[in-house]
Chains A and B, each alone.
Chain A
């Protein structure tokens, strides 16, 4: 990507939490680059650090979190920025869409008021104009009868409608970057399809870049330009969506893709990854995936590999990149 197109440049970001049982490293030296208008998915299981890293960018973590490294947004350093300066960026230039649409709205104000307030805080629109704009936004995200809906309270919205309203609020100030943290995990399949469609239409229209944080590889396949796979607080693989899905380089990515049943495939026996994802309180030495990996050697226990460029635009973190067998996808019907 061209340098002047670079919107977000995160390098060597680490986040650690102080707990009763010592320091827990949730994110360990993560990097991430997002170009303007681009959609990057961060994929990972529980404890991979995928959500923590983006919360850290926006200064939304509790005080017990220790954040180091660098995150430049449009040239401005976010790590260490004062809460005041962050507030000016949050909700204006970077917006967040959360997993749980139930708790994202204040139950005692109308949806319209809350969307309007998001605009007033950043001086985008005022008073009645803001409320009218809120109705327009609701219409844009496919809420029927936006004129009436704008005066309703959160409990009068269904889960899917609330998620749309949250998207409306997120785009109210025309942000350059949307961070969607598991935006459809709490929703039913048919509603999930609606919401993903709205997100994609909105981005087409506004040109906003998106970081999509999810555990669902299916959602990633349909909506990301590039993918970065995280495990144990580190980036394990990164590349274009096609590269990562059709030619995964990392044993973990391969395991993940092979272990998933597909709706368009007949049920052959699945190939699971053994064991469970590690707890952030108790990371194995060396490679975090080591204990579950079929290719583990002493080198993997001794130290973690670094993230290396294997092919143009395609990186992987593994000591054994060179000697891994060629990837065979699970056979499908189609």
Chain B
């Protein structure tokens, strides 16, 4: 296999908490705390987690929209972290991003043509060829070129998200970070956008880093999936292994909490209902970050940080007591509802 397209090693992004006139640092929000991930060419890697798990910051740190605190990001072997501003500008042509909110992600005062052409213009394309490319892109995302001179507010949420995708495609990137690209859309529109992403991946040989909280969507679209909890990767595996043979208690609980649109399945399921809330990333628990909510945590979990260990080829889990395939957390705990 070739070298991976994107190689993230021990990435850390902390936000200082400041106070007072002299902006003294009084604490750190541990948004991303040592995440390592690779993305291969034409691959989709899903990143799932709940709010505060750092998945959004992680995505933005990769593109250095948020400056990482430490660790390295390499794109085709070349360091992104530490690249000069000019080099970073060139690298960004290869790595683009699509945002969650189709309303906030388009400048309300620019016509759609200008919005999609902006990356091209920034990177030095002349006006006429840029416009030709915009028409191509509008068609590629299922809109009509003649819609290009309208302003964003005239479009529906789904159409706006298509515009955002067209903008990300403008520079012919190899990797797109998709940050919750469908969660703001109506259910009936989500599938359109997911299918569109599938098609574009085929057509343009794209790799995706798909960040979402919706486990069903992530399973559908991803080749491999990483589960994040409070800034760290809890488990990472190819999509099927992760959903069929989850090893981390957190993955188990997440999967058991997702509602399934099937009344019989839903009523007969045994469900692990996690107790308590997600701790604040400003003061994460010692040792294993999940231990405060983990039904099988013991003393060791508070003292010792679990490192990612390989259970099977490509299946890594950060837990002192990974759950064996076929075993269920429900049975281990004995509580069900």
Please count the residue pairs between chain A and chain B whose beta carbons lie under 8 angstroms apart in the complex: 149
- B274 sits at the interface (CB 8 A): yes
Contact check, B188 vs A255: say whether CB atoms are below 8 A apart: yes
Q: With A218-B260, A261-B216, A276-B157 given, is the CB distance from A189 to B254 under 8 Å?
A: yes
Candidate in A161, A188, A220, A242 with the most chain B CB atoms within 10 angstroms? A188
Instruction: Fill in one digit per residue for A268-281: 1 if any B CB lies within 8 Å of its CB, else 0.
Output: 01111110110000
Per the 8 Å Cβ criterion, residues 272-294 of B in contact with A are 273-278, 293
Q: What chain A residues lie within 8 Å of B267 (beta carbons)?
A: 222
Bound CA–CA A273/B262 (angstroms):
20
Interface mask (A170-213 → B, CB under 8 Å = 1, otherwise 0): 00000000000000000011111110110000000000000000
B259 touches A218 (CB 8 A): yes
Question: Which residues from chain A contact B266 at a C-beta distance below 8 Å?
Answer: 218, 221-222
Does the CB pair A259–B261 fall under 8 Å?
A: no
- Contact between A262 and B216 (Cβ–Cβ < 8 Å)? yes
How far apart are B62's CB and chain A's nearest CB, in angstroms?
23
State whether the Cβ of B337 lies closer than 8 Å to any Cβ in chain A.
yes
Q: Judge whether B261 and A217 touch: CB under 8 Å.
A: yes
Q: Which of B27-35, B73-81, B167-175, B192-200 contacts A (4 or more CB under 8 A)?
A: B192-200
Q: A263-B243, A272-B195 are in contact. Are A188 and B278 (CB under 8 A)?
A: yes
| Contact residues in A for B50 (Cβ distance below 8 Å) | 188-191
Contact of A242 with B188 in the complex, beta carbons under 8 Å: no
Interface residues of B in 168-184 (CB under 8 A from A): none
Q: How far is the CB of A296 from chain B (nearest CB, A)?
A: 16
CB neighbours of A274 from chain B (8 A)? 192
The listed residue (A194, A245, A263) touching B216 by CB distance below 8 A is: A263
Query: Is there a chain A Cβ closer than 8 Å to B263's Cβ?
Result: yes
Kindly identify which residue among A45, A144, A220, A267 contacts B220, using a CB–CB cutoff of 8 Å: A267
A193 to B276, CA, bound (A): 12
A residues less than 8 Å from B83 (CB atoms): none
Among A245, A270, A277, max chain B CB count under 10 A is at A270
| Contact indicator B257/A261 (Cβ below 8 Å) | no
- Residues of chain A lying within 8 A (CB to CB) of residue B219: 261, 263, 265, 267
Q: A260 to chain B: which residues have CB within 8 Å?
A: 187, 190-191, 216, 261
Q: Give every chain B residue within 8 A of A189 (Cβ-Cβ).
A: 50, 213, 215, 254, 257-258
**Residue of B at shortest CB range from A274?**
B192
Contact B274 A193 (CB under 8 A): yes
Bound-complex Cα distance A334 to B191 (A): 22
A215: Cβ under 8 A from any B Cβ: yes
A161 to B277, CA, bound (A): 8
The digit string for A35-50, where 1 denotes a CB below 8 A from any CB of B, is: 0000000000110000
Contact with B along A149-163 (1 / 0, CB 8 A): 000000000111100
Q: A219-B259, A272-B190, A332-B262 are in contact. List 4 more A-B contacts (CB 8 A).
A: A191-B50, A215-B186, A216-B259, A241-B263
